[in-house]
Homo-oligomer: A and B are copies of this chain.
Amino acid sequence: MSKTDPGNFFEDFQLGQRLVHATPRTVTAGDVALYTALYGPRFSLFSSDEFARASGLAAAPIDPLVAFHIVFGKTVPDISLNAVANLGYAEGRFLAPVFPGDTLTAASDVIGLKENSNGKTGVVYVRTTGTNQRGEAVLSYVRWVMVRKRDPAAVVADQSVPDLAKAVAPSDLVAPPGLDFSVYNYALAGAPHAFEDYEIGEKIDHVDGMAVEEAEHQMATRLWQNTAKVHFNQFERAKDPSGRRLVYGGVVISTAKALSFNGLQNAGLILGINGGRHVAPFFAGATVFAWSQVLDKADLGSVGALRLRLVATKDKPCADFPDKDGEGVYDPAVILDFDYWAAVPKRG
């Protein structure tokens, strides 16, 4: 039917095109409570208005991953409704804190197009920006997805692949205006570890495991108005070899991030996303475990920043840090390899 949105196919995208995504979304305390119920995060900055005020903010901001999920969800109908695979993220920057009451909109610029040699699919690169009601960008990130062509014969003349940074440069990270961890209450935050206590290369097993149920990932994904069929249409998914609804990759990111509290209690505030790969599909019923590695450190002045690699597994505890081997082949239990920058208090 003409009034039903079929989504865009590869040949519908053009280099330089700007897509304004539907459904502006006012963030509320209800979203925050649901995020807590769905993942159990314990980072004080997002949990307590008082803690946030003592850290120089007006109130507790939402977890940057909530802003990411909201903005990502809006892009689905326009970018990835006909996607075969979500291939990667890069150059993610959180540019302004988001508070309950703020309204977010999203738009994406097509920055790369590359048809695959089979002529049936192509890779679409977009830079997506989330904007608040004052017109301020709150986050920006690049995502690339493999999208089906509607018509294999269609010609996409203008193609190019963007140069993307391997990691966000520390000088491009933006701490929330006013953020001040100089009187940081380590006891309330749950651990004494500061910027100075983390070493590059250090690995941390987050120990705890979290099972994910069908109802939970559906609620988590609908909350962000992400309507990708693979997460919800069990009738259709029954025909897939897995026979299962696929869990939205963002559910795995948020589950692993919440688990990372146990060892990264003071590194809750994500400042940038360097990259991310959903190494294997995840289905409800399994238990998520996670470990982290410190990849880099940067002194941002008022706060420190840790570049962290967050690896999540399904049904495999992480005491021995399941990873990829020398050939880049992942342990079959690994489902996520996520690379980000987080703010931490400095002791000195």
Contacts and interface: CB of A to CB of B under 8 A. Distances in A.
Given A31-B33, A36-B222, A225-B36, A24 B44 contact: yes
A77 interface: yes
Contact of A23 (B190, B225, B235, B245): B190
Interface string A21-35: 011111011111110
B265 A1 contact: no
A117 B172 CA distance: 60
Given A210-B233, A234-B287, A60 B26 contact: yes
Contacts of A26: 47-50, 60
Contacts of A190: 5, 22-23, 77
A25 B37 contact: no
Nearest to A3: B263
B103 A204 contact: no
A65 interface: no
Contacts of A143: none
Interface stretch (A88-96, A118-126, A160-168, A211-219): A211-219
B36 A33 contact: no
A204 B3 CA distance: 7
A155 interface: no
Nearest to A223: B37
Contact of A38 (B38, B219, B226): B219
A203 interface: yes
Nearest to A289: B235
Interface string A192-215: 010001000001111111110111
Interface in A219-239: 219-223, 225-227, 229, 232-236
A71 to B, nearest CB: 14
Contacts of A50: 24, 26, 103, 133
Nearest to A52: B26
Given A25-B48, A29-B30, A227-B262, 11 more contacts: A1-B263, A3-B197, A24-B51, A25-B47, A26-B47, A28-B29, A39-B222, A42-B227, A216-B218, A232-B287, A235-B317
23 contacts: A5-B191, A22-B187, A22-B188, A22-B190, A24-B47, A24-B48, A26-B47, A28-B32, A29-B33, A34-B37, A49-B101, A50-B103, A50-B133, A51-B103, A209-B236, A211-B218, A211-B233, A211-B234, A215-B216, A216-B218, A234-B287, A235-B286, A236-B317
Interface of A: 1, 3-5, 20, 22-26, 28-34, 36-44, 47-51, 60, 77, 100-101, 103, 105, 133, 187-191, 193, 197, 203-211, 213-216, 218-223, 225-227, 229, 232-236, 245, 262-265, 285-287, 289, 315-317
